[in-house]
């Protein structure tokens, strides 16, 4: 047990490591989330206490005075009913931060009362000469373990139950169990320390999980905003391009047309859809390919820089005549929604033709 306890302690993240860099909002959210977990585990703790009270009554039925046994069991069951009613009342109040925080404080108080009732079994067993009964430490240890399971999100709640539940048991064994009493009392206290550290470990792990979830949520929200902004920017860019009289073509890294603006039909005589999938060799005149490729290679090493093309002949398909354009080529490979080389340009004034570059 000692070795396992040391292992658990060594793996517990420090409070400083957990809370370092937290904003006030994040710290409050951490407390609220922890209280919400305690709220969800409360019905389990209440149910376990009521069921174990009935089991204890049945086992000790013939050994303990009925009035004492009924008084104790009735107190546990009444307290369980009160706790259940309080839980239902807070449940109706919703899961707001204020409501959950108030519930956590109330729940810790009632955990302490419940622990005191279970701790009172020790003197009851002593009075009736049942201190050597193996059921007593078993049931109280089981309740202490159940407190860790049901209230592990709150170290305070576990301690509030375990101290009043285990301390009377340790004292009773130390005073009445003879030569072995101190050893048994020491084991009980060691068990209490072990469950306390286990509860502390669970709470810190819960805190870490909540913080990671919070940070992941914030990162996702930031990423979603960036995606939305990029989408809106793309829509604005597309609307500007499609309303422009200039020809706009987007070439993929492989040199294929992935977008053609509506204005290409007026300039080239080919619908934009028919240009999708054409290569630079299909679109650019062979005599202009060296210049176009050189400008493209230069743009490749200059992200976002505009490279001028003073004279380039292009066409929409093999059936179309070449048109002479003047424009610019921009490397937008790493721009979301574009991811290619963007050519934008317009027809040169009359007198500039592609006669020298006649179609072959």
pLDDT-derived band at 71, boundaries 50, 70, 90? very high
pLDDT band for 12, please (50, 70, 90 cuts).
Answer: very low
Res. 353: pLDDT tops 80: no
Token readout for 163 is: 């101290």
Least confident interval from 121-125, 199-203, 327-331, 356-360: 356-360
Task: For residues 356 and 155, give the distance between their C-alpha atoms in angstroms, rounded to a whole number.
Answer: 86
Question: What is the predicted pLDDT for the residue at 299?
Answer: 74
Residue from 152, 57, 54, 157 nearest 105 by CA: 157
If we measure between CA atoms, which residue out of 74, 87, 99 comes closest to residue 151? 87
In the chain, what percentage of residues exceed pLDDT 70? 85
Q: Which range, 105-109, 230-234, 245-249, has the best average confidence (pLDDT)?
A: 105-109
Q: What is the mean pLDDT of residues 156-176?
A: 88
Higher pLDDT, 108 or 136: 108
- For 270-289, the pLDDT digits (tens) are 888 889 999 989 999 999 88
Say if residue 261's pLDDT is above 60. yes
Contact 310, 230 (CB under 8 A): no
**Predicted confidence band of residue 8 (pLDDT cuts 50, 70, 90):** very low
> Given CA atoms 84, 88, 91, 97 in this order, what sign does their dihedral have?
negative
Contact by Cβ (8 Å): 354, 313: yes
Which residue carries 């009980």 as its tokens? 188
Examine the pLDDT at 187 and tell me if it is beyond 80: yes
Percent of the chain with pLDDT over 90: 17
Q: Give the pLDDT of residue 336.
A: 72
DSSP 270-325: S-HHHHTT-BHHHHB-GGGHHHHHHHHHHHHTSTT-EEEEEEEEE-SSTTSPPEEE
- 226, pLDDT greater than 90: no
Give all domains of the chain, ordered by start, each with its CATH number: 2-223 (no CATH), 244-347 (3.30.450.20)
Query: What is each CA distance from 62 to 4, 67, 71, 136, in whole angstroms?
Result: 39, 12, 15, 15
What residues pair up with 329 in beta bridges, in sequence order? 307, 343
- What is the structure's pLDDT at 360? 38
Range 166-172 average pLDDT: 89
The pLDDT value given to residue 144: 83
Q: How confident is the model at residue 244, as a pLDDT?
A: 63
Does the pLDDT at position 267 exceed 70? yes
163 has a pLDDT exceeding 80: yes
Rounded to whole angstroms, the Cα distance separating 297 from 92 reads 67
Q: For 332-350, what is each residue's pLDDT tens digit? A: 887 777 788 889 888 886 5
Cβ contact 169:188 at 8 Å: yes
Cα–Cα distance for residue pair 258/269, rounded to 1 Å: 18
- Mean pLDDT over 174-185 rounds to 82
Residue 316 pLDDT grade (very low, low, confident, very high; cuts 50, 70, 90): confident
């Amino acid at each position: 047990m000692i070795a396992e306890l040391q292992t658990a302690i060594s793996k517990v993240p420090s409070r400083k490591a957990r809370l370092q860099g937290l904003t006030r909002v994040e710290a409050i959210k951490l407390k609220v989330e922890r209280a919400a977990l305690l709220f969800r585990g409360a019905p389990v703790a209440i149910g376990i206490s009521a069921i174990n009270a009935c089991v204890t009554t049945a086992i000790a039925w013939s050994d303990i005075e009925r009035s004492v046994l009924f008084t104790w069991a009735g107190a546990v069951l009444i307290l369980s009913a009160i706790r259940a009613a309080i839980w239902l009342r807070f449940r109706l109040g919703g899961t707001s931060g204020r409501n959950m925080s108030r519930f956590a404080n109330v729940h810790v108080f009632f955990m302490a009362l419940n622990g005191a009732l279970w701790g009172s079994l020790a003197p009851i067993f002593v009075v009736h000469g049942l201190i050597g009964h193996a059921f007593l430490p078993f049931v109280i240890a089981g309740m202490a373990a159940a407190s860790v399971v049901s209230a592990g999100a709150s170290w305070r709640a576990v301690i509030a139950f375990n101290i009043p539940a285990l301390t009377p048991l340790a004292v009773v064994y130390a005073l009445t169990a003879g030569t072995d009493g101190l050893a048994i009392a020491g084991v009980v206290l060691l068990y209490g320390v072990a469950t306390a550290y286990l509860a502390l470990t669970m709470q810190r792990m819960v805190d870490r999980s909540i913080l990671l979830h919070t940070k992941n949520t914030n990162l996702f929200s930031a990423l979603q905003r960036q995606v939305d902004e990029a989408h809106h920017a793309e829509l604005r860019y597309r609307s500007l391009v499609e309303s422009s009289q200039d020809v706009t073509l987007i070439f993929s890294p492989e040199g294929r047309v992935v977008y053609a603006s509506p204005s290409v039909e007026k300039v080239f005589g080919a619908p934009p859809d028919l240009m999708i999938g054409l290569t630079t060799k299909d679109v650019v005149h062979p005599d202009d390919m060296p210049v176009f490729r050189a400008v493209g290679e230069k743009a490749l090493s200059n992200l976002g820089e505009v490279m001028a093309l003073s004279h380039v002949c292009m066409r929409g398909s093999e059936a179309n005549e070449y048109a002479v354009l003047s424009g610019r080529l921009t490397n937008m490979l790493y721009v979301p929604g574009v991811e290619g080389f963007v050519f934008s340009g317009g027809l040169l004034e009359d007198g500039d033709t592609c006669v020298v570059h006649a179609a072959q």
